[in-house]
Amino acid sequence: MTLSRHPSPELIARYVAGSLSPSAALVVESHLSLCDTCATDHLDMLALGGSLLERLSPSELDARLFERTLARLDEKRPAAAPPAPRSVRDLGIKLPAPIAERATSGWRWMGPGMAYARLDVPEDSRTNLVLLKIAAGRRIPTHGHSGEELTLVLQGAFEDEHGRVAAGDLAEEDDDTHHTPVVTGEETCICLASIEGRLRPHGLIARLISPLIGL
């Protein structure tokens, strides 16, 4: 697989540092599972981070830290409500290993020739992790973003104002981005996307549909 769009060095650094949301981290992990070049860059950055940590001088800890930690272990916390049961479903495509066992809503309609499926990430309440399926020739309405969006193409390709994004490529968008993705070629385009905040659709119909699908 020949790729042309890779995670920026800043994005990989944030992934290594653990500062990405869990949903965004799953998109990066999925790309790493498909791209040997980025997987090598990831290992190099991990090694660099480890080397920097080894050079740091140890910090003094409060003598009572151990006792406070033990005391917190004895604290009783209210039990969290069990999540609604959802199952892993066959979505008709081979998914990257990092998300292959995630429970999903299954495909749901989001417009003519367009569907989405939510992936369960119970550890992340701030970011949506979704699969998007867009038929050949379809155009996603022009929209912006209220936060960061990472999009990994799993099948097919699309083009927008920033160029072509094909299978294996990862596109990074933020709240300064406005674009109109159009699926190119004859193959249905399927993408994995982590969406922080809400999309900001420009058209009236898109603005009406967006709250219904929760994106």
Between CA 178 and CA 39 the distance in angstroms is 30
Low-confidence ranges of the chain (pLDDT < 70): 1-2, 52-54, 76-89, 145-146, 198-215
pLDDT at 19: 94
pLDDT at 64: 79
User: 184: closest CA among 169, 163, 205?
Assistant: 163
User: 126: closest CA among 29, 200, 24, 207?
Assistant: 24
pLDDT at 207: 47
pLDDT at 3: 77
pLDDT at 205: 45
pLDDT at 151: 94
Pick the CATH number of 1-81+95-215 from 2.40.10.10, 3.40.50.10470, 2.60.120.10, 1.10.240.10: 2.60.120.10
* pLDDT tens, residue by residue, 51-79: 766 677 777 777 777 777 777 777 766 55
pLDDT at 161: 84
Q: Identify the burial level of 31 via C-beta atoms within 10 angstroms of its C-beta, where 0-12 means exposed, 13-18 middle and 19 or more buried.
A: buried
Task: Tell me the CA distances in angstroms from 10 to 32, 63, 97, 144, 168, one per residue in order.
Answer: 15, 37, 24, 22, 19
